[in-house]
Structure 1
Amino acid sequence: MIRPATPADFPRLQQLEVAAGQAFREVGMPEIADHDPPSLETLTHFTDRGRAWVSEEDVVGAYLLAKVLDGCAHIAQVSTDPQFRGRGLGRALIDHLGHWASSHHFPALTLTTFRDVPWNAPYYRRLGFVEVPATGALVDEVAKEASLGLDPRLRVCMRRAVSPGR
């Protein structure tokens, strides 16, 4: 079940983010695993704007935060608890965002991600995203990520068109 995130979910979202981030240790990126989860202020920002969703079975297993960049729905964060990987929760959240984007007349979904991490760009390619050059607000997004310690040489911008009614 996908539903809007609420403040009651915030502790779980933070816990889930820490757990999901541990996979970066396995690919030699412990500094990413050590990043703090989204703050309560950040989560409030997204929920107050109606741009935060969770996938819930018995507990919240995944979440997605979105913003609008250059007239597109931009995936700011999507994370799945490791115990729920392989169930399609992330894909369902991304498809949900696609429906939301379509209903708001946005032409595409965008995101920035790691180029070579298996559950990043290769995964998104399987979901129909294609690499695009960083232009407009995506340039600012990559610069913001760099200020947080994410090497822009390892990052890629991606886009997936949204079909009406999708």
Structure 2
Amino acid sequence: MSMEPRPARETDLAVLPEIERSGDAMFADLGIVFPPGPMVIETMIGKGADILVAGDPPVGFAAVRELDGAAHLEQISVRSDLVGNGIGGRLLKVVLARAAEEGAPGVSLLTFRDVPWNGPWYARHGFAVLPEERWTPGLRAHWYAEVGARLHELGPRVVMWAPLPGPGGTEQSTM
């Protein structure tokens, strides 16, 4: 089965919440239990996010949307029994490449600072913590929506940013 990321088809969408639930279950070992409510992917499907999947049928996905003129990675999730096989890395590589092709200055995301497959993983893939004074209005609103949803009570969260090359191959300025 090919794990090369591709745009999601309408027929792929129904299995994505189960992939997210599988990935979310890994957080329980760290004492992180997400509050009830719709899965992130369910809310992104309804908001016109760009959704990439790996596998056919999908075993992983990435959901990306535009936020303040940049790409914003809402979620990468891989079925828990396949974590560690490079699927998330392949999805992230395509997210970054597509954002660069579309002229985005970079990719932002919000994640848990200390969860090994969150903040540290993104740091190994070129992301760095974005200081609060450089947050855009959209990132700030996203942060406070997470606070309101009590997500920050589950563990320290950070905003991260990966700058992308601009015209001529030079790195664009950060937010």
TM-score by length of 2: 0.83
| 1:37 to partner: Cα distance | 2.0
2:11 is matched with 8
1:86 Cα deviation (Å)?
1.0
Q: Which amino acid aligns with 1:155?
A: R
**2-structure distance, mates of 1:122, 1:35:** 27
Superposed, 1:128-147 pairs within 5 Å as 128-134=126-132, 135-136=135-136, 137-147=138-148
Displacement of 1:33: 7.2
1:103-126 superposed Cα distances (whole Å, 9 cap, x missing partner): 111111110000111111011111
The ranges of structure 1 where at least 4 consecutive aligned residues each deviate by more than 6 angstroms after the TM superposition are: none
Q: Which runs of 5+ in 2 are unaligned?
A: 170-175
Which residue of structure 1 lines up, in the alignment, with residue 94 of structure 2?
Answer: 96
Alignment-mate amino acid for residue 3 of structure 1: R
Q: Does 1:26 align with 2:25?
A: no
How has the CA–CA distance of structure 1 residues 6 and 40 changed in structure 2, closer, same or farther, with 3 Å as cutoff? farther
* SS of equivalent residue, structure 1 residue 158: strand
Q: CA deviation at 1:6?
A: 2.2
Q: 1:75 to 1:59 in 2, by over 3 A?
A: same
Q: When the two structures are aligned, how many residues end up with a matched partner?
A: 161
* Cα distance, 1:46 vs structure 2: 3.0
Aligned-partner Cα distance in 1 for 2:68–2:124: 24
- What corresponds to 2:157 in structure 1? 155
Gaps of 5+ in 1: none
- Seq. identity, %: 28
Q: Which position in structure 1 is the counterpart of 2:59?
A: 61
- Cα distance in 1 for residues equivalent to 2:9 and 2:83: 22
Aligned residues of 1:130 and 1:160 also touching (Cα < 8 A)? yes
> Which amino acid in 2 is paired with 1:46?
G
Residue 26 of structure 1 aligns to a residue in which SS?
helix
Instruction: Write the deviation string for residues 5-52 of structure 1: whole angstroms up to 9, x where unpaired.
Output: 12211221011011110011100112x2755424656314335xxx11
Provide the C-alpha distance between the structure 2 equivalents of 1:138 and 1:113, rounded to a whole number of angstroms.
12
Query: Residue deviations 1:71-116, cap 9 Å, x none?
Result: 2111011101111111111111111111111111111111000011
* Inter-partner Cα distance in structure 2 for 1:106 and 1:41: 23
Letter aligned with residue 53 of structure 2 = V
